Structure 1
Amino acid sequence: MKDIQNQTDHRRINIKKVGVKTISYPVTVLDKAKTRQNTIATVNMYVNLPHRFKGTHMSRFVEILNQFHGEIGMKSFHQIMARMKERLDAEASHLEMTFLYFLAKERKPDSLNLCHYRCSFIGSFEQEPDLQLKVEIPVVLPLIRQKTSGLPRSMGQWGRAEVTVRLNSFIWIEDLILHIERAIGDEPRQAAGNGQEMLSVETLTRRIAECLSQLAGVGWFSLRVENLGNEYSTFATLESTV
């Protein structure tokens, strides 16, 4: 049978990304307390499509994923991207995995002792592999007395912090989460001590950035803090090389 996808395309138009997305797939991530944690990830797989090819074989993405069944995690991430790049004859490959990471905590009897966090591995492989770890952490703060003109707050859920890091060395996911949560918890106490009546996205963003810059193993980070209101939200973003 003639391979239509590998035939030459004479229009000379590159396509930046082509692939499959929103695949639900079982993955294994490292867990500091229990060694490993099994969870379900939403997987997106892309490659660039050089102008010389008419198309790509979409089924090969799933074939590659199945080759790593039971071994998919941060350790095999580079290998999957390299296999995509080679098998699909692409100049660059891209892989995204978003999953819930569960962390046990000691809490009040009427609260769940198992918290979950939305995490993502985000990778690209052109000349060299580039891997980022993203965590989304809810910001739940003690209620601070507010002025009537202030932005309305939701019930205890002040907002969220989205942190993306490039690592120079290995860091446990839970260590990164707990480090950020300590920074979040310190800020309202410091604000109250300074006589501030409201916590702003700017001050919390700077506080988290200060803590990330002191965390060994982080080479670069991107940060977005969002305060959720009833009618609109406020946010602040920051990016820095450590």
Structure 2
Amino acid sequence: MNALPDSSIASLVDVQSQADPRQVAIQQVGVRGVRHPVRVAADAGAAQETVARWTLTVALPAEKKATHMSRFMELLAAHRHEAMKPARLCAMAESMLDLLQAGAGDITVDFPYFIDKAAPMTGARSLMDYQVGWEAHARQGRRTDFSLRVVVPVTSLCPCSKAISRYGAHNQRSQVTVRLDYAAAPALDLDRLIGDIEACGSSQLWGLLKRADEKFVTEQAYENPKFVEDLVRDVAIGLRRLSGVTAFEVAVENFESIHNHSAYAVVRGGPQA
């Protein structure tokens, strides 16, 4: 297909920049579900290559008909090779406001994050994956807010089952979902945060375990029973100590091994006074 000459491009009608007579403001409009590579630098180590799902939106004034959808993709392409940190994502959201001439905008990026872990007894190495989400909320004339969400799987063993049984106790995999809100982009050590959350379970998980490791994990969980209430409270206590956090939420779901339903608990709060 032949390219249009510059004079033809200049004469094309820009419909989306026209006025809209309905006078209804739109709080968020943009692109969602965009799969795009990203280099995540979430701790002191090297940046990690992964594939993320992106949502980029801006606020649209009542008098404006539409936003420029292509500019969101241009923004992603421009940041393709940068190591993405919380501060970089916030700066990207701020530049999005200028690019689309918007008063407010939000960027959400969700990605699998991998940690290289050594098994507890044999030291066998394997990768564990965790689902992570970052959000940047930019407003003209204000500091950009940042939020983090991370999903951490652990093992929990039932204290009641252990207490009433002659031998054994039922245990299950639990999912700990943590959300942290910051007034500004934090200096984030994601590996340490995940490790602190894992330490609150009856046992943490590994991708690869040999027999000696499996024995250790089974016995460790048995000696460290946790109700869903214990687990959510222990995680919440640790989150209260984090610097820069304005609000947090921790939700724990135990996928029960002896019921066809889950046990569930949520704690919301802010930093410890």
| Superposition TM-score, scaled by structure 1 size | 0.83
Q: CA deviation at 1:129?
A: 0.7
Alignment of 1:38-187 (within 5 A): 38-71=49-82, 73-74=84-85, 75-107=87-119, 113-126=126-139, 127-142=142-157, 146=161, 157-167=172-182, 169-185=186-202
Q: CA deviation at 1:235?
A: 1.6
Q: Deviations over 1:201-226 (max 9, x none)?
A: 22211111011112345443211111
Number of aligned positions between the proteins: 232
Report the identity percentage.
29
Q: Measure, in 2, the Cα distance between the counterparts of 1:81 and 1:133.
A: 15
Alpha carbons 1:26, 1:39 under 8 Å: kept: yes
Alpha carbons 1:25, 1:40 under 8 Å: kept: yes
Q: Measure, in 2, the Cα distance between the counterparts of 1:165 and 1:37.
A: 22
Match of 1:14 among 8, 25, 43: 25
Structure 1 counterpart of 2:165: none
Structure 1 counterpart of 2:229: 202
Q: CA deviation at 1:23?
A: 1.2
Alpha carbons 1:22, 1:42 under 8 Å: kept: yes
What amino acid does structure 1 have at the position aligned with 2:152? Answer: I
Q: Measure, in 1, the Cα distance between the counterparts of 2:95 and 2:220.
A: 49
Q: Measure, in 2, the Cα distance between the counterparts of 1:159 and 1:114.
A: 19
Q: CA deviation at 1:189?
A: 7.8
Q: Measure, in 1, the Cα distance between the counterparts of 2:221 and 2:240.
A: 19
SS at match of 2:65: coil
What amino acid does structure 2 have at the position aligned with 1:202? Answer: E
Change in Cα spacing, 1:221 to 1:174, as seen in structure 2 (3 Å) is same
Q: Any unmatched runs of 5+ in structure 1?
A: 148-154
Structure 2 counterpart of 1:150: none
Q: Which has the larger radius of gyration?
A: 2
Alpha carbons 2:156, 2:174 under 8 Å: kept: no
Structure 1 counterpart of 2:251: 224
RMSD of the TM alignment (CA)? 3.0
SS at match of 2:39: strand
Alpha carbons 1:180, 1:212 under 8 Å: kept: no
Match of 1:235 among 264, 270, 273: 264
Q: Measure, in 2, the Cα distance between the counterparts of 1:117 and 1:94.
A: 23
Q: CA deviation at 1:56?
A: 0.9
Q: Any unmatched runs of 5+ in structure 2?
A: 1-11, 163-169, 204-218
Q: CA deviation at 1:71?
A: 0.8
Q: Measure, in 2, the Cα distance between the counterparts of 1:112 and 1:102.
A: 12
| Superposition TM-score, scaled by structure 2 size | 0.75
